[in-house]
Amino acid sequence: MPFDQELSTSLLDWWLAHGRHQIPWKRTAQGRAPASQQLLNPYPIWVAEVMLQQTQLQVVLPYWQRWMERFPTVLALAEADEQEVLLLWQGLGYYSRARRLHQGAQQFLKTYGQGLSDDGFDRWPRDLESWLTLPGIGPSTAGSILSSAFDLPFPILDGNVKRVLSRLIASPTPPARNSKELWALSEQLLSREQPRNFNQALMDLGATVCTPKNPSCQQCPWSEQCAAYASGDPVAYPVKEAPRELPFQVIGVGVVLNDAGEVLIDQRLNEGLLGGLWEFPGGKQEPGEAIEVTISRELQEELAIEVQVGEELISLDHAYSHKRLRFVVHLCQWRSGEPQPLASQQVRWVKPQQLNEFPFPAANARIIAALLARLHPEEGTAAA
């Protein structure tokens, strides 16, 4: 038996006994795992695959369930307000994924909407190129949708698969610089008879056995052929890039209240990871600058208002993949100037109790809780 066929067979046998068969978007309406060639609704799979980009399955599941209850079809998502989309995504991170999914649904309907139904999938595209034209969909996401929904032989290469294949061949090169070889290997191993099951098995192997730390090599169907296991140190693979120190910045934030007790928030521009979300205004502290001066200056530059910077409300650290931030938040009293969105989409005065109606970055949840606790101790304690 050829090497690739032997590996494919052993992986599929392992998956039948140990795979994750309860993933809701990969089951039929009757709750059963689909038979070979049986079609599945591509839309729930599309949503799930985008959510799973850089996020683990157990985190995604409740978000996906709420999403499908609110936006059960492509049409429902396409017609939704972007703010509602972002609010439903709140806490899942990488918010550009939500915006692209929303934009993708609108683009999809323009192209395929005539006669498109949710129980007949004949009009859904079955080629890689069509899916790659949609925002936020790369080759691995497209391959996973096509293999999962239509049982078509398209390879995948997500984070779990990169780790499994890098260990299988003990690649001396970090996956980011070895994608061509890993893509070729994924396609070589792919079962043409059962691509849906094979791709799911490959992801399940990485998620449950070939884990980043403490892999369960004794339970792996590929351990005898795995070069990393043979080396005696499988955790040394995939080879990591040389670590780089993340830049650190201090951000001065102003929670601005007016005489009516309303708080000022602004909506970020639709760009970057947090585009379209709401936030409390502020900006970077300059070298040698007092944080109170930072806040006063940023609010004047970004909103054209004058404030009196008061006591500190909260200070918190938040790490992103590309930088570390410390938010130093002060209560401020509005003094003069009509707030202008000079560096944002729009600004609003809202009642503090209304803040949960707006999608905020995760780092703002503690700021909101601290504000409510300061203004209304009993409510703030409950909210925290």
The CATH number of the domain holding residue 13 is 1.10.340.30
Residues identified as active-site: 49
- Scanning the structure block, which residue is given the tokens 């494919």? 8
Same domain, 167 and 218: yes
Residue 308's DSSP bridge partners are 333
Per-residue pLDDT tens over the stretch 223-277: 999 999 999 999 999 999 887 888 999 999 999 999 999 999 999 998 877 889 9
Among candidate residues 127, 77, 72, 142, the one with its CA nearest the CA of residue 103: 77
> Nearest 5 degrees, angle CA 177-CA 324-CA 51?
60
CATH number of 297's domain: 3.90.79.10
Strands 278-279 and 324-336: unpaired
In angstroms, what is the C-alpha Rg of the chain?
25
Domain-ending residue, one of 236, 266, 281: 236
Which residues constitute the domain of residue 53? 3-236
The Cα–Cα gap between 40 and 196 comes to 11
pLDDT at 379: 52
Helix ranges (H only) for the chain are: 3-18, 42-51, 57-70, 74-78, 82-89, 96-112, 128-132, 139-150, 159-168, 179-189, 195-208, 227-230, 291-303, 364-375, 377-383
CA–CA gap between residue 142 and residue 133 (Å, rounded): 10
* Residue 244 and residue 222 in contact, taking contact as beta carbons nearer than 8 Å: no
Distance, in Å, from the CA atom of 373 to the CA atom of 363, rounded to the nearest integer, reads: 17
Distance CA(177)–CA(182), nearest Å, equals 10
Q: Which residues pair with 72 in a beta bridge?
A: none
- Residue 38 forms part of a structural domain: yes
Are residues 206 and 349 both part of a single domain?
A: no
In a domain, 47, yes or no: yes
Burial class (CB in 10 A: 0-12, 13-18, 19+), 56: exposed
- Contact status, residue 307 vs residue 335, Cβ threshold 8 Å: yes
Q: And the tokens for 15?
A: 């998956």
146 by Cβ neighbours in 10 Å (0-12 / 13-18 / 19+) ranks as buried
Do residues 268 and 184 share a domain?
no
Q: What pLDDT is attached to residue 273?
A: 77
**Ranges of the chain whose pLDDT falls below 70:** 1-3, 28-33, 35-37, 114-122, 378-384
Residue 318, in any domain of the structure: yes
DSSP letter for each residue of 125-185: --SHHHHHTSTT--HHHHHHHHHHHH--------HHHHHHHHHHTT-SS-GGG-HHHHHHH
Let me know whether 206 and 95 are in one domain: yes
Q: How far apart are CA 111 and CA 138, in angstroms?
A: 19
Is residue 117 a part of any domain in this protein?
yes
Q: What's the burial of 11, exposed, middle or buried (CB within 10 Å: 0-12/13-18/19+)?
A: buried
Boundary of a domain, candidates 176, 204, 236: 236
Is residue 241 domain-resident?
no
CA–CA dist 145, 148 (Å, integer)? 5
- CA dist 52 and 58 (Å) reads 10
Q: Which of 308, 307, 299 is nearest to 340 (CA)?
A: 299
Taking only the tens place, the pLDDT of each residue in 42-81 is 999 999 999 999 899 999 999 999 999 999 999 999 999 9
pTM score of the predicted model: 0.83
Residue 243 lies inside a defined structural domain of this protein: no
In this structure, the answer to whether residues 257 and 222 fall within a common structural domain is no
**Judgement on whether residues 261 and 324 belong to the same structural domain of the protein:** yes
Q: Is the Cβ–Cβ distance between 146 and 126 less than 8 Å?
A: yes
- Do 44 and 156 belong together in one domain? yes
Query: CB of 349 within 8 A of CB of 313?
Result: no
CB atoms near residue 163 (< 10 Å):
22
Q: Could you tell me if 208 and 268 lie in one domain?
A: no
217 inside domain = yes
Number of domains in the chain: 2
